[in-house]
Amino acid sequence: MKTAIYSRVSTDRQTHNSQLAELREYCERRGWQPAEFSDIISGAKFTGAGLDAMMTDVRRGRLDVIVCFKLDRLGRSLAHLAQLVGELNAHGVALICTSQGIDTSNDNPAGRLQLGVLMAVAEFEREIIRDRVRAGLKFARDNGVKLGRPGTLAKHQEAVNGLLAQGHKKRAIARKLGLPVSSVFKLAKSFEPKFAASEKAINNLPQLWTGAGNSTPTPRQI
Q: Tens of pLDDT along 3-50?
A: 999 998 877 677 888 899 999 999 999 999 999 999 887 655 556 789
| Domain total of the chain | 2
Structural domain for 27, as ranges: 3-126
Could you write out the DSSP letters of every residue in 159-216? HHHHHHHTT--HHHHHHHHT--HHHHHHHHHHHHHHHHHHHHHHHTSPPSEE--SSSS
114 with 65, same domain? Answer: yes
Q: How far apart are CA 191 and CA 171, in angstroms?
A: 15
pLDDT digit string, tens, across residues 50-85 = 999 999 999 999 999 999 998 888 876 777 887 888
Whole-model pTM over 0.85:
no
Considering the domain architecture, whether residues 117 and 17 belong to the same structural domain is answered as yes
Q: Are residues 53 and 102 in the same domain?
A: yes
- Report the pLDDT averaged over residues 181-204: 66
30/120 same-domain check: yes
What average pLDDT does range 173-198 have in this prediction? 76
Co-location of 112 and 159 in the same domain: no
User: Catalytic one among 7, 10, 190, 215?
Assistant: 10
Decide: helix, strand or coil at residue 3. Answer: strand
- For residue 10, indicate whether it is catalytic: yes
Are 88 and 195 in the same domain? no
Please state the separation of Cα 147 from the chain's center in Å: 15
